[in-house]
Chain A
Amino acid sequence: MSKYKTLAFILPIIIVFSFFFLYPLVVLVVNSLHNDQGFTFVNYTQMITNAYYFKALLNSIILSILVTLATLVVSGVLAFFLARHNFPGKSLYFTLLTFPISFPGVVVGFMIIILFGSTGLIPMSIQKITGQSSMVLAYTIFGIFLAYLYFSIPRTIMMLFGAIKDFDYTLEEAARTIGATSGQAIRYVILPAVMPIFTSAGAIAFSTSMSAFGTAFTLSNQFDILPILMYTEFTLNFNIEVASAIAVVIGIIVVTINSGYQAVLKKGGALNDKNL
């Protein structure tokens, strides 16, 4: 294929990406390096030095780490359960479990309101049984945690299940025959084999939580986490430079995690698996 014909095929996307993706991102970074006095790094340094911004940064990171750990444990258990048990309706059950993958963040937030909101299922049931009004979890930081689990668990089950069901169980049986307990077989035979997929699922869960906006925003627009802080700075304080710096910080954390885990897996020679 000649050079010109190649160019004719890819020119449209190059134009669209240059004008509406790369150029805007460059402007975003340039603006984040400005304030009233001109060029400055202060929008970035204050993320650490200013307690208000630092708290949001810390909250976002801690929340994402906790969500990732809880998701990996819960989804790991469910994926193993699904891989090892056959029962009627299993395929329907799996489909139902993974429906929430198609939900936008706002719908995920609403699902938490349905369960834990002020007119939600659980507070109302408790009120009906005990006669006292119960605590409403949905609009607290614990509500956000649950909401993030709601979108991470189905995605992670999907990713882990694909790898776990293809695992060669004769290896585990061999370990059991030579005297390994079921715990030892999991610890020394299965875990090393599924480690790469757990790493990549964890990295994806972390970066999704880190950049999630709609989910948290539906529950409350006042949480001190980075994406909501970015919205507040932009819409309410008209502070475009600071908002841009926050957006760049979220972007850098997410892109670093994503390329970082791929580099780690590549080094371990595990990246040939198409599931990763």
Chain B
Amino acid sequence: MTKISNILLYLLVFFVSLFLILPIIVTIFGSFSFYWGTDMFSSGITGKWYKEVFYYYGDTILFTIIISLSTVISNIFLGTMTAFVFSRSNNRWLSVLEEILSLPMAIPGVAIALALIQTHSAIRESGLLILIGHVIFTFPLLFRTVLGTLRTRDFRSLDESAASLGAGPFYRFFYVIIPSIKSSILSGAIMVFLLSLGEFNITFFLYTPFTMTLPVGLYDSYSTLRIDIGSAFTVIFLILAIPLMLILHKLNQSSTYSRSGGV
């Protein structure tokens, strides 16, 4: 009995691992194959698909990086400032506000997108609406991460001793608080960047042909059924995302990130 169940256990572990990891490996190798079919690499190796990705989607990649970086910068300011206030007061209104500010994590992206497009379509052309959508959607990640760190008692006493020495709130914020929460701002910023980089559900409703982002471009390449260009483009996404994911693992924050939906 135990022997059979052990074999079943190992088989399950094996097949689930294969299911999760194999397609990533196939995508990476396949993206270099000249011909995608039963005899992979029969016609040799090529970098052609990458050239085509940069030719068709170069602007898309650049635009995405600009959007994601702007989202990160906006949320570092907004999230840290807001978390600083929330860590210091236990006002009833603030706790209601905290719930509201955490809502974008719970509300489906498609609903946020549909709400934004009905109210602010005037600023859609410029791509500004995509940026705002990303800022709203990713705000809770950085805000909650920083707030979590700030709520530990050390920061409070640190802040209080600076205050007792006569430092004003703005001075304390920039010279006492910020330097001591650098690492949680860093992990929050990485999570915001990753989420913004891969955001599809909101962006898909807000983009125009001139404001396409990487995941929308990926969808575009998949839906034209070019599996070769699609896989090269996917590898480019992986090159951007995987190092950041590794840093999150190192910072022990990948489990926080795993709670964010958006697929």
Contacts and interface: CB of A to CB of B under 8 A. Distances in A.
Interface stretch (B46-54, B181-189, B243-251): B243-251
Contact of B263 (A128, A151, A153): A151
Contacts of A150: 19-20
The 4 nearest A-B residue pairs measured at CB = A211-B108, A104-B198, A24-B115, A105-B263
B177 to A, nearest CB: 11
A208 interface: yes
Residue in B77, B100, B104, B254 whose Cβ sees the most chain A Cβ within 10 Å: B254
Nearest to A2: B169
A113 B227 contact: yes
Contacts of B58: none
Nearest to A256: B106
A102 B244 contact: yes
Given A114-B23, A255-B107, A31 B118 contact: yes
B12 A74 contact: yes
Interface residues of B, number: 83
B78 to A, nearest CB: 5
A1 B88 contact: yes
A145 B247 CA distance: 30
Interface of B: 2, 9, 12-13, 16-17, 19-24, 26-27, 30, 36-38, 77-78, 81-82, 84-85, 88-89, 97, 100-101, 103-104, 106-112, 114-116, 118-120, 132-133, 135-136, 139, 169-170, 173, 194, 198-201, 204-205, 215, 218-219, 222-223, 227, 230-231, 234, 237, 241-242, 244-246, 249, 254-255, 257-259, 261-263
Given A97-B17, A218-B219, 20 more contacts: A16-B132, A21-B112, A21-B115, A27-B119, A77-B9, A93-B17, A95-B246, A96-B20, A98-B249, A102-B245, A102-B257, A103-B241, A104-B200, A104-B262, A104-B263, A107-B237, A110-B218, A127-B38, A211-B201, A250-B108
A105 B246 CA distance: 20
